[in-house]
Amino acid sequence: MPNVPQVPGVPNLSSYLPNAVTLIVADAVAFLFGGAQDRWGVFQDGAIAFDYDSFNAISFRKDYVVSDYPVEAPGSGQSSGFMSYDKVEMPFEARVRLISGGSEGDREALLVQVENAAATIQLFDVVTPERLYEDCNIVRFSYERTAIDGAGVIKIDVTFQQIRTSEVSAFSNTKQPGSAGQVGIGNVQGTTANQSAKIESFPLASVQ
C-alpha cells in the first residue's frame, strides 16, 4: 500500500491501523462464510468430537447403482444385451482432513482419539456451512507428516460412511410348547399293524 501522508482532509487508511492485517483477514472470512466459520467440523451430540486445530478439507461422494439383467434375443437362445430395471441409492461417504500442531502430546492425543473412534460404532455429524451430514461412522482413516508442512504438524484423513437407521422391531416372547398342559381328547384305540405279506410263487423258467 502506498505511503499516503496523514493530513487534514484525508481519511485514515488501514495502513495506519494497528490491527490492519487481523481486520482484513476477519473481513475476508466473514465475506466467504457469512459469519458461519464456526460451523465447520466433526460433531458428536452437538459438541466437537476431536481435539484438532483445523478442519482443513472435505470431499464428498455418493453413488447410485443401476441393476442390469441379461436379455435373450427371441428364438436365438443367446443373450443379446442387458436391460436396466432398477436404481439403488448407496450410502454416502465424506472424507475430512483434520490437522493438529502444538506439542507432541497434542498430536498423539488427536491420533488416539480418531483411532479409538474408528474401532467403534459411534455416529458423528460432519458439518459444513452448506450441508449437514448426519449419522456417519468412521470406516477408514490415514495420516501423514511431511517435511514440507513441518515436522510438528500431523494431518489425519478420516472417511465417514452414512449409517441408515430403521425402526426397531418389537418382538414378544413366544410360548414354549412344553409349557402347555396336557389335554385329554378321549380314549384312542390302538391297532396292530399287519406285518404279514402274501408271497406268491411263480414257476422258474427253464433254461434251454
What is the per-residue pLDDT across 130-155, written as a single tens digit (0 to 9) for each?
899 999 999 999 998 888 877 789 99
pLDDT in tens, 156-187: 999 999 998 775 555 555 555 565 566 565 56
- Identify the domain containing residue 57 by its residue range: 34-63+90-162
CATH code where residue 113 lies: 2.40.30
Higher pLDDT, 8 or 22: 8
d(CA 91, CA 120): 18
Residue 179 falls inside a structural domain = no
The SS3 assignment for 165 reads coil
pLDDT recorded at residue 183: 57
Residue 75 falls inside a structural domain = no
Residue 23 falls inside a structural domain = no
Residue 184 falls inside a structural domain = no
Region at 81 (left for phi over 0; alpha for psi -120 to 50; beta for the rest):
left
User: Residue range 81-109: average pLDDT?
Assistant: 90
pLDDT recorded at residue 150: 73
pLDDT recorded at residue 140: 96
